[in-house]
A and B are shown apart, each in its own frame.
Chain A
Amino acid sequence: MPLLELDNISKTFPGVCALDGISFDVHSGEVHALLGENGAGKSTLVKVMTGVYARDSDKSNEGEKSTIKFCGQELSVLELASPANVQKLGISTVYQEVNLLPSLSVAQNIFLGREPKKFGLIDWKTVRKNSQILLQRFNLNIDVTRPLADFSVAVQQLIAIARSVDMSAKLLILDEPTASLDTKEVETLFRILSQLKSEGLGIVFITHFLDQVYEISDRITVLRNGRKVGCFKTSDLPRTTLIQHMLGKELQELAQREKPDPLKQGVEDLRDAHLRLKNVSVGSTLTNINLDVPHGQAVGFAGLLGSGRTEVCETIFAITPHQSGTMVYNGKVCKFKNPGQAIAASIALCPENRKSEGIIGELSVRENIILATQVREGWWRSIRKHKQQSLSKQAIQEFGIVTPDAEKPINQLSGGNQQKVVLARWLATQPKLLMLDEPTRGIDIGAHVEITKLIKKVCAEGMTVLVTSSEIEELVAFSDQIVVMREGKQVAELSGNDISEANILAEITNA
């Protein structure tokens, strides 16, 4: 009997179907890895399991029932109503970002809500002693009375894991727990996990480090675009197959690479480079990035989540300005201080996180479309109303944005249409360099195809384009040059006939 069993779980957010009929189970004494690219639905699934999100209620007319069973018992809506209730059942979770309280002491964080008491008052001596003992299991020898924020992210992550390990009676869920840990710390963590496993705990493990998956997990479930691809025994699943499952093969029609334009091929003279990065580094997130992008080329950035794809775009756009190295743009050394300066230099960025960085939710489609152009024009010269309307009308038609009218608040549109608006917004500024960070993430297939077509179109029109994507076929389809990233470094550059799915996959996997 599975420890936790989810059946036919769906979760829809306005405009996006994040989970579509997912089934998933964990047994006692096993480590079950949950894999998928960004936006595949892993974190959403975890949040449904832990009571942060309520799953969609059953559609009575379809006759399908969704259930969540724990220890064989079906959980009621009430039991899943809050994280506190789920914790009481014996399920504890470490979330992707450290979800502890930075100003509270380490000991307080570990024992919050379950402090041992003496005469009705919290017994701090025991709290401190027990937290010290607990952390020693993780080879952490720190002053537990200090506020959590005094410690590095890695230590914070270990503390979060320690809290969960100490609390979890039956099931432990770890969402990207190793992102900030070094090799030794990961070793310690795995030692403890194996120990817990032998004690009969069920463990759900989410990560994008495939090595770790093969090292610790017994089974693997792969999600893609909110759907379950399958559940596999780790020992039966070759790594390449796994990556293919994760990255998907849906866009077969785009997989054929178009013949490179012969005119474009000739101008690879470096003096003519539109954008050049030389040894650009940002803290520990990017190290020594070198890049030469001639005018009108399309460069694709491949790599798994957290490999530094996004950071390259954000550095060029001056959201996190580079700390060392030089950036040459249009033949001039540039050091932009903020995105405003980058935009003034005709650079545009469609950010990865559409909701928090892209759209301005309450504003209308029209306003979202004209905003970037307006910022370039300055605050004083407002774009005339009728010009705004014709601009937005044109964009709606050209990009096939499905909206009843241009005055609709953008947060009422579907994800794909929101993405089209963001694209339209930047193209309206007539940029010279367009950066698209995961332009097709988390949107439905139909919009996906349309956006890919649009990207191909702007490439064909001679704009310099940088694209990051988890969809390798997409990159293969229109890139003149591919940069493969891993752990903040560029590990390979492919161009010309070397660009193929197989080669890129090989470079990504080849750890």
Chain B
Amino acid sequence: MHNTSPETEIRAEKSEARLPIFPRRLLWPLVALSLLFLVNLLISPEFFHLEVKDGRLYGSLIDVLNRSVPVAFLTIGMSLIIATGGIDLSVGAVMAIAGAVCANLMVGGVDNLFIVVGGGLCAGLVAGAVNGGLVGYFKIQPIVATLVFMVAGRGIAQLINGGQIVTFQNANFAFIGVGSAFGLPFPVVLLVGVLLCVHLLMRKTALGLFIEAVGCNPKASYYLGINVAVIKFFVYCLAGVLAAMAGIVATADIQGADANNIGLWLELDAILAVVIGGASLLGGRFSLAASIVGVLIIQALSTTIILSGIEPKFNLLIKASVVILVLLLQSERFQTQIKTLFAMCDPRDRHNVGRELDGL
């Protein structure tokens, strides 16, 4: 235990040069995504077809990106919340509230885009603060605390909308959902910008480290002087704002606020994306990039199913199978079982098998 063998010293020197830029975590989600692309390459090469129309790129790939945007916004927030060991069921409903606030501000005669968008974001912030307050300060289980807004949120959105689907005419606001910039759909550009900001906020300040510390070991974090309650409060607030952003994009896209359907069940997709990205629901390390890859996998899967000519009714079934497979692959016991299975097939290793089976 106490040997500084030459070997370890050499290894120590080698690794000095290597910075942890490329998280190992990203590997498997990327492999999965590449596999999906490979399938597309074989069955429907038109998936990769891109063309430029009116100074904007079009094609299935762009489509996948564009459709991923709302879930991706939710996923950024959800990654951070899950990293603290929490969960937020309310983000879908918060999308609806934010959409309703924006739509009604515009219908009510507010033309200033900043006020409209700001109003929507504020609504998200308030919802996030309520969640964060319940979880951080009142120490209520996250799943219960956010269930309140998940149930009541859509009711509130409908209340704001007066039970109607509120449609509006506002070219500026609509641009957020359907416009384009730098040859890409505007939502994609917006997402990349926000993702970059959150990433910088997490990794250029110590916030990301504190979040991971709280998620890994809240008690030790408290002994270290980290204010655990504030960290939790903050991530729920941020997730609320990001959910509002998702709601604004979705509302702008259809130019109407539909309290019943905007963001319906998207919280589940977001949680799924984070899990596919390799995060543990118990909290700890997070990787925004891996989570975003998770989102792309979910979206690319749906698009692939459509393109491959499989009837859309199989969509859910395939999604379920993929999820269960991913979950199993992350389970330690399953990994051991697979290894044992391989070992049994390999004659050279046979004498080790018995021992491993004993361990099960």
Residues of A at the B interface (CB closer than 8 Å) are 57, 77, 317, 319, 338-340, 342-344, 349, 351, 356-364, 367, 371-372, 374-383, 385, 389, 393, 400, 402-407, 414, 416, 444, 446-447
Contacts and interface: CB of A to CB of B under 8 A. Distances in A.
Contacts of B207: 379
Contacts of A342: 225
B20 interface: yes
A326 B98 CA distance: 51
B11 A363 contact: no
Contacts of B8: 402-404
Contacts of B285: 362
Given A375-B225, A404-B8, A446-B2, A363 B212 contact: yes
Contacts of A385: 19
Nearest to A380: B205
B358 A57 contact: yes
16 contacts: A77-B358, A319-B222, A338-B222, A343-B224, A356-B219, A360-B212, A362-B284, A363-B213, A367-B212, A372-B225, A374-B210, A379-B207, A382-B203, A402-B2, A402-B8, A405-B16
B226 A359 contact: no
Greatest chain A CB density within 10 A among B20, B203, B226, B227 is at B226
Q: How large is the interface on B (under 10, 10 to 19, 20 to 34, 35 or more residues)?
A: 35 or more
Contact of A379 (B205, B219, B224): B205
B225 A404 contact: no
A12 to B, nearest CB: 11
B1 A416 contact: yes
A497 B16 CA distance: 49
B190 interface: no
B223 interface: yes
Contacts of A444: 1-2
Nearest to A319: B223
Interface string B290-320: 0000000000000000000000000000000
Nearest to A385: B19
Nearest to A425: B224
A402 B20 CA distance: 20
B213 A407 contact: no
Given A379-B205, A379-B207, A372 B1 contact: no
Contacts of B1: 402, 414, 416, 444, 446-447
B221 interface: yes
Interface string B199-223: 0000111110110110011011111
B15 A405 contact: yes
Contacts of B225: 338-340, 342-344, 372, 375-376
B203 to A, nearest CB: 8
B15 A382 contact: no
B12 interface: yes
Contacts of A447: 1-2
A367 B2 contact: no
Contacts of A371: 209, 213, 224
Contacts of A317: 223
A260 B351 CA distance: 62
B4 interface: yes
A167 to B, nearest CB: 30
A349 B223 contact: yes
Contacts of B205: 379-382
A361 B284 CA distance: 10
Greatest chain A CB density within 10 A among B205, B206, B207, B216 is at B206
A317 B225 CA distance: 10
Interface string B78-107: 000000000000000000000000000000
A372 B224 contact: yes
A358 B220 contact: yes
A382 B220 contact: no
Given A381-B206, A404-B15, 19 more contacts: A339-B225, A340-B226, A356-B219, A356-B220, A360-B216, A361-B216, A363-B212, A363-B213, A364-B20, A367-B209, A381-B205, A385-B19, A389-B16, A400-B4, A402-B8, A403-B8, A404-B11, A446-B1, A447-B1
Nearest to A411: B216
B210 A357 contact: no
B230 to A, nearest CB: 9
A402 B4 contact: yes
B197 to A, nearest CB: 15
Contacts of A375: 210, 224-226
Nearest to B7: A404
A360 B220 contact: yes
Nearest to B8: A404
A499 to B, nearest CB: 30
Contacts of B213: 360, 363, 367, 371
Contacts of A340: 225-227
A339 B12 contact: no
Nearest to A393: B16
A500 B284 CA distance: 47
A423 to B, nearest CB: 14
A376 B226 CA distance: 9
Contact of B223 (A339, A374, A393): A339
Contacts of B210: 374-375, 379
